[in-house]
Amino acid sequence: MARTSIESEMIRIRVLLVVMLAAFGFLSVMLWRIQVARADQYERDELRQSMRRVRIPGMRGRIYDAAGHVLADNRPGYSVAIYLEEVRQPGTWTRTIDHIEHMLDTLALDLGVERQLSRDDIRMHIRRRLPMPLIAWRDIDERTLARWAERVAGMPGVDIYTEAVRVYPHGSLAAHVVGYVGRADLIPDEAEPFHYYLPEMEGRSGIERRFDPLMRAEAGARLVRVDAIGYRHEDIAVREPGAGRDIQLTLDTRVQAAAEAALGDTPGSAVVIDPRNGNVLAMVSVPAYDPNDFIPAISRSLWNALLADERKPLLNRVTAGGFAPGSIFKPVVAIAALENRLVTPHQTYNCPGHFELGRARFHCWARHGHGTINMRQSLERSCNVYYFRLSLQIGHDAVYHMATALGLGQRTGIALDHEIAGNLPNDAWKRRVFNDAWRDGDTVNVSIGQGPITVTPLQMAVYAAALANGGRVYQPRIVSGTRAFGSGAFMPEPFESPRELGWSAETLETVRGGMRDVIMASHGTARHTAIPGIAFAGKTGTAEFGPKEEGRKHAWMIAFAPYDDPRYAIVLMTDEGISGGQTAAPKVRQIIRSLMELE
């Protein structure tokens, strides 16, 4: 019995020994696989887990005017950065955060600036962006930078961090054309995922927005090795970012400045176009804003103030504002009548100061009337009654088709966002909107640029250019070319051929001559705008808007100069004024005088 028990125990011992040997052998095999056979794979896995990919934005392209003056540029922005891997403290995170707070207080005192980061900001950075430098002050001024060099430069773990900052050297000049940038909302790229994204700018309005894909560059990348805790250890590799394309505009900053000076602080808009090719030389919308206020980010209080401003400084009135044109629309009616051979230039009507249509009475601006006048005289004196009678004689369809040919009621296609088409009404429009037919009263109203018709100042500039060049309708150009970074010449943008309207010499002589008389003749509505030694043509307009009892009026003028060889077509509108002749005309005179002086 005892012997059997001993044998049984020996069997158990042997079995246990076999199991232990098998386990030891298994562990030996696994250790060999880990340490020898799969060493390279695990090393690659460890390296991958300790790597962080950082996206580096490229250099944004610049914006130039036609003469090569920079309208939007990049400058180095200097920020004070704390490198956490150099200032971390042993023990808990709290000790490191306490130390960083003490550093911030010391730096603020030495630099003479207020501390900007809170304890929560530090904690959030450690939690989300530990390998990245902590930016304590961004885009410091020259005075602070000098104090840094004098007092702080030797502090461990603190250095100057440089990044590109957008700058607009001319401030608010052409702000609605150039636009502004803001912090980009980057969408992660599945093909090239990044752990961290450095700030990048994207266009939010104007050329900055419309040509954002061209001006943004291919991003670079940096591989950063971090330790087991997550602190930055070293940079492994860098792929340098690219540079975006530069944009050249058709704008001339001298012409732009002259047009802005003419408008001053008066809410309104102005456009100067070269009628020979459709190039926009100036585009003004008042009030404007300073795009530098959006760099690096606009304050909430200033943004709210811009939104709340009743004068709408963020609105580009030139392309996104719809206004009744008033009497500057009258040449359209005259051309429609002549080109359709429905009347001759010698057609006369009597103006007693009013016009009866059924039980309605429509007034001329000259309450005592103009007497019997022909077409050229009707333009010179801007007689309403003449166009009441003329439009009823030729019918609204003729006017509608001529206005359509001139581009009214449709977007011009300029390379700017948020352009509106305005409203060119006809019978189909009225039936669709009001479920009512077009009536003679509608024809009479539209003939003098009143009623439901609305236009943009840019459309009126294109129209003025067509009057100047003899009937060629150009698509207005604001961008003339682009170029790669570091290259010399700009590559021209595609140029669209003008639409030829084929107006007769008789039509041009009558309408352009009438517009010349507006300035140069004794009864012209803008005769006080004449400039000695310079012959030019124009047409004034006054358009009522809002409740009639308030008496509010837009003041318009279109013009082209010089008369015999037009190089400039101009439109100017003030949101409110006394009349086109009294309010807009003196400002147009100032622009034309400046243009001649620039030549």
- Which pLDDT score is estimated for 313? 96
pLDDT of residue 194: 64
Residue 84 pLDDT grade (very low, low, confident, very high; cuts 50, 70, 90): confident
Pick left, alpha or beta for residue 112 (phi over 0 → left; psi -120 to 50 → alpha; otherwise beta).
left
The per-residue pLDDT for 92 is 85
Could you report the per-residue pLDDT of 441-486, keeping only the tens digit for each?
999 999 999 999 999 999 999 999 999 999 999 999 999 999 998 7
Band of the pLDDT at 91, cuts 50, 70, 90? confident
Distance CA 512, CA 267 (A): 29
- Report pLDDT for 521: 94
Number of residues that this document lists for the chain:
599
Query: Considering only 167-171, 224-228, 385-389, 488-492, which range has the smallest mean pLDDT?
Result: 224-228
Local confidence band at 26 (pLDDT 50, 70, 90 cut-offs): low
User: For residue 410, is it left (φ>0), alpha (ψ between -120 and 50) or beta?
Assistant: beta
pLDDT score for 485: 83
On the question of pLDDT at 45 being above 60, the answer is no
Residue recorded with tokens 């009263």? 441
146 or 455: which carries more pLDDT confidence?
A: 455
Q: Which CATH architecture has domain 253-289+315-598?
A: 3-Layer(aba) Sandwich (3.40)
- Residue range 179-196, pLDDT digits in tens: 999 887 766 655 556 666
- The Cα 335–Cα 341 span in angstroms is 10
DSSP 464-511: HHHHHHTSEEPPPBSEEEEE-TT-SSPEEPP-PPPEE----HHHHHHH
- Top-confidence residue, 597 or 163: 597
Q: Which range, 9-13, 20-24, 99-103, 194-198, has the best average confidence (pLDDT)?
A: 99-103
b/e 278-307 (16+ beta carbons within 10 angstroms → b): bbbbbbbbbbbbbbbbbbbebeeeeeeeee
Q: What is the mean pLDDT of the chain?
A: 88
Helix (H, G, I), strand (E, B) or coil at 135: strand
Predicted confidence (pLDDT) at residue 363 exceeds the cutoff of 70? yes
Q: 3-state class of 81 per DSSP?
A: strand
Contact between residue 527 and residue 583 where contact means Cβ atoms under 8 Å apart: no
Mean per-residue pLDDT, 209-227: 80
More reliable by pLDDT, 149 or 212: 212
The whole-number pLDDT of residue 229 equals 56
% of the chain residues with pLDDT over 70: 86
More confident site: 548 or 591 = 591
Distance, in Å, from the CA atom of 542 to the CA atom of 587, rounded to the nearest integer, reads 15
User: Which amino acid is residue 57, in one-letter code?
Assistant: P
- Asked if residue 234 has pLDDT above 70, the reply is no
- 46, pLDDT greater than 50: no
The answer to whether the beta carbons of residues 406 and 466 sit under 8 Å apart is yes
Exposure string for 131-163, b = 16+ CB within 10 A, e = fewer: bbbbbbbbebeeebeebbeeebeeeebbbebeb
pLDDT at 88 over 50: yes
pLDDT (mean) for 165-169: 94
- The domain limits of the chain are 52-69+170-226, 77-168, 253-289+315-598
pLDDT above 90: residue 36: no
Q: Tell how far CA 120 is from the center of its chain.
A: 36
H/E element holding 53? strand 51-56
Can you give the pLDDT at residue 161? 78
Neighbouring C-beta atoms of residue 58, cutoff 10 Å = 19
Give the pTM.
0.86
Of the candidates 556, 39, 509, the residue with the CA atom closest to the CA atom of residue 271:
556
CATH number of 52-69+170-226: 3.90.1310.10
